[in-house]
Amino acid sequence: MLQMGWSDARRYSREVSRPTTTRRWRRLLAVALAAVAIGLVVLEPFPKGKVLLSLTDTHGIDTGDIPALAMLLVAAALAV
């Protein structure tokens, strides 16, 4: 049976109980990327191209939305 000393038990309990700095930065970066992606969709700085997915007659996803979709995927991967 594996035995841990008092200092080992304290160190491991702190690592599990609070998020690390890296995890906080990843979450902050994910939120920032999601905000930029939403801004790209709203402002539409890229030219509209072919429609990839038509949601209604006047709304859909075109090739100009691909950079925003890529950012959202990266943000989702960072948030996990």
Confidence of residue 76 (pLDDT cuts 50, 70, 90): very high
Q: Per the domain annotation, does 1 fall within a domain?
A: no
Dmax of the chain from CA atoms?
A: 67
Give residue 29's pLDDT. Answer: 93
Q: Contact at 8 Å (CB) between 60 and 51? A: yes
* Identity of the amino acid at 61: I
Q: What is the pLDDT of residue 79?
A: 87
Is residue 5 in a domain? no
C-alpha distances in angstroms, 74 versus 19, 29, 67?
20, 10, 11
Structural domain containing residue 57: 21-79
Number of domains in the chain: 1
- The pTM of this model reads 0.62
19-53 tens-digit pLDDT = 678 888 999 999 999 999 988 888 888 788 899 99
Structure tokens at 42: 């709203």
Provide the strand spans (E) within the chain.
51-54, 60-62
pLDDT tens, 4-28? 555 555 555 555 556 678 888 999 9
Closest C-alpha to 80, from 14, 5, 23, 6? 23
Whether residue 11 lies inside any domain: the answer is: no
